């Protein structure tokens, strides 16, 4: 019987082992070789539900192993199904919003299915379509695709989805927003009505949930954390700074706090390119990754960043969905996103697979309203800190605090309550500063240098976490 109620956050999953999940020996062998022993909560709860063959709406924080939560049971189902894939007719389709995420999911499928006679292929735009057409001349069991390139191939008659068994929307909220919804509706029309549909994401607004349920048939729903929240392993802070001083402050933090691997988010492609040029002038190795870059340039930049040879990667929100980097210590919001949910995905690039991380947001006066929207979404206040040796933003702090108080007072009684809470938070912060935990004395050894800590925790990597 379908369970339509979300699984409560914090449901015990630590006692579950992969051996309890009814996965075949070939998959278990791949899991053992990857040195994974204990499934994450989303894996422990999603895998058995997917194996029943029913539809599923699954929400979990980024970095918790969602990808393994659907790839493992899909491999199990396809390995048991006697049906054979035919040329141009995949049995499973996994849709993703970005090329990078598509490539990472393909790596996961290959990792977990390497001892199975299951074939897979990834197709996306930005590269020549001809090699993909050639690859489709052979049977493919699992097809991972971005919507645009998939529709191109379907339009050319190279892919037939009429006999599909399983559909997965990864980062489902992004797939169902206005940027992709028209392509998704076109793809849905190409699918059989009788199929298994799985939707996975870290964030689901009420509107997206309503739309998602129209695609699903009596779905189970799994939620292993409070909705639209970031991992508690991520230390979130904000720095108030004048817009014209952001680049100088960012360069200061990278150099003085000795950040060796930092992912920086900007709002626009042009802004990303401009920031890279300024950082390079400051003597900081940096590259940009966004939709206007060729796929080869994006792949090269990401590779260099992952292996540590590139100090700073500047990205638009294209990289906020599913980008997986082992033990990434620092994420910086150079500009806050216009959509609060994108903040959750951005900072979710750190604090993954049980490791600690930090997310720093540089906030100017015009972005205060965006910060407040983010705080309302994640239902917590983001601590405001100062890096004392840098004094270019001190006056702006007072100005923004005043604007913030004025904005809260206009919200009425509820806003007044939140403002008092904010004041208490800032008073508490001042008390901590007075105690020496955060000094405003440039010569103090207790300045806010917690930003420089690296993710050197020796905690064992959570199972499947690096493929989340």
Q: Checking DSSP bridges between strand 56-59 and strand 234-240, what pairing results, if any?
A: unpaired
Q: How far apart are CA 430 and CA 435, in angstroms?
A: 9
Torsion angle of C-alpha atoms 150, 155, 157, 161, degrees rounded to 10: 50
165 and 141 in contact (C-beta within 8 Å)?
no
CA distance 234 to 361: 13
CATH superfamily, region 234-451: P-loop containing nucleotide triphosphate hydrolases (3.40.50.300)
Ramachandran class of 322: left when φ > 0, alpha when ψ lies in -120 to 50, beta otherwise: left
pLDDT at 391: 40
Q: Which segments in the chain show pLDDT lower than 70?
A: 1-14, 62-63, 82-83, 178, 225-231, 318-324, 326, 351-354, 387-408, 410-468
- H/E run at residue 75: helix 66-80
Q: What separation, in Å, do the N-terminal and C-terminal C-alpha atoms of the chain show?
A: 28
pLDDT recorded at residue 437: 35
d(CA 261, CA 311): 5
Q: 3-state DSSP: the chain helix, strand, coil percent, rounded to 5?
A: 45, 15, 45
Residue 11 and residue 41 in contact, taking contact as beta carbons nearer than 8 Å: yes
pTM: 0.64
Give the Cα separation of 180 and 185 in Å (integer): 9
Which residue's entry shows tokens 């980008």? 323
Identify the helix (H) or strand (E) that includes residue 333: strand 330-333
Nearest alpha-carbon partner for 228 in 96, 100, 341: 341
Query: In the prediction, which pLDDT does 53 show?
Result: 94
Q: Which tens digits make up the pLDDT trace of 52-79?
A: 999 999 987 766 788 999 999 999 999 9
- Give the list of residues 6+ apart from residue 380 with CB closer than 8 angstroms, or none: none
Residue 29 CB partners (closer than 8 Å, separation 6+): 115
Residue ranges, comma separated, of all CATH 3.40.50.300 domains in the chain are: 18-227, 234-451
Domain 18-227 homologous superfamily, CATH: P-loop containing nucleotide triphosphate hydrolases (3.40.50.300)
CA gap 450, 45 in Å, rounded? 35
Pair 300, 332: CB distance under 8 Å: no
CA angle at 209 for the pair 51 and 70, rounded to the nearest 5°:
25
- In whole angstroms, what is the distance from residue 217 CA to residue 197 CA? 8
From the number of C-beta atoms within 10 Å of its C-beta (0-12, 13-18, 19+), residue 406 rates as exposed
CA 344 to chain centre: 7
Give the pLDDT of residue 432: 37
């Amino acid at each position: 019987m379908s369970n339509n109620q979300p699984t409560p956050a914090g449901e015990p999953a630590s006692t579950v082992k992969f051996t309890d999940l009814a996965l075949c020996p070939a998959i278990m062998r791949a899991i053992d070789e990857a040195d994974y022993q204990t499934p994450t909560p989303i894996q422990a709860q999603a895998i058995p539900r997917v194996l029943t063959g029913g539809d599923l709406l699954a929400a979990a924080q980024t970095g918790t192993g969602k990808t393994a939560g659907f790839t493992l049971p899909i491999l199990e189902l396809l390995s048991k199904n006697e049906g054979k894939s035919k040329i141009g007719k995949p049995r499973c389709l996994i849709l993703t919003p970005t090329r990078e995420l598509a490539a990472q999911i393909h790596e996961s499928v290959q990792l977990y299915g390497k001892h199975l006679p299951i074939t897979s292929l990834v197709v996306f735009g930005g590269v020549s379509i001809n090699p993909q057409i050639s690859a489709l001349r052979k049977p493919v069991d699992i097809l991972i695709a971005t919507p645009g390139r998939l529709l191109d191939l379907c339009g050319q008659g190279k892919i037939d989805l009429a006999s599909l068994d399983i559909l997965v929307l990864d980062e489902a909220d992004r797939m169902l927003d206005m940027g992709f919804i028209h392509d998704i509706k076109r793809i849905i029309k190409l699918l059989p009505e009788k199929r298994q549909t799985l939707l996975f994401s870290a964030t689901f607004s009420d509107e997206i949930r309503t739309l998602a349920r129209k695609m699903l048939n009596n779905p189970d729903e799994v939620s292993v954390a409070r909705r639209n929240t970031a991992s508690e392993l991520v230390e979130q802070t904000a720095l108030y700074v004048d817009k014209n001083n952001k680049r100088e402050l960012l360069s200061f933090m990278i150099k003085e706090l000795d950040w060796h691997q930092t992912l920086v988010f900007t709002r626009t492609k042009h802004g990303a390119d401009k920031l890279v040029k300024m950082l390079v002038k400051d003597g900081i190795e940096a590259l940009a990754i966004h939709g206007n870059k060729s796929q080869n340039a994006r792949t090269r930049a990401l590779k260099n960043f992952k292996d540590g040879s590139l100090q700073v990667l500047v990205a638009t929100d294209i990289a906020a969905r599913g980008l997986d980097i082992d033990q990434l210590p620092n994420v910086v919001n150079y500009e806050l996103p216009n959509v609060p949910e994108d903040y959750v995905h951005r900072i979710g690039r750190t604090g993954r697979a049980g490791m600690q991380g930090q997310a720093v947001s540089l906030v100017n006066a015009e972005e205060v309203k965006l910060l407040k929207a983010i705080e309302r979404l994640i239902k917590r206040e983001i601590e405001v800190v100062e890096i004392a040796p840098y004094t270019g933003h001190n006056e702006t702090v007072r100005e923004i605090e005043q604007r913030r108080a004025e904005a809260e007072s206009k919200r009425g009684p509820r806003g007044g309550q939140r403002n008092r809470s904010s004041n208490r938070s800032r008073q508490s912060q001042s008390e901590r500063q007075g105690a020496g935990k955060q000094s405003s004395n440039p010569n103090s050894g207790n300045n806010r240098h917690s930003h420089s800590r690296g993710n050197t925790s020796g905690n064992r990597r959570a199972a499947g976490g690096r493929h989340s």
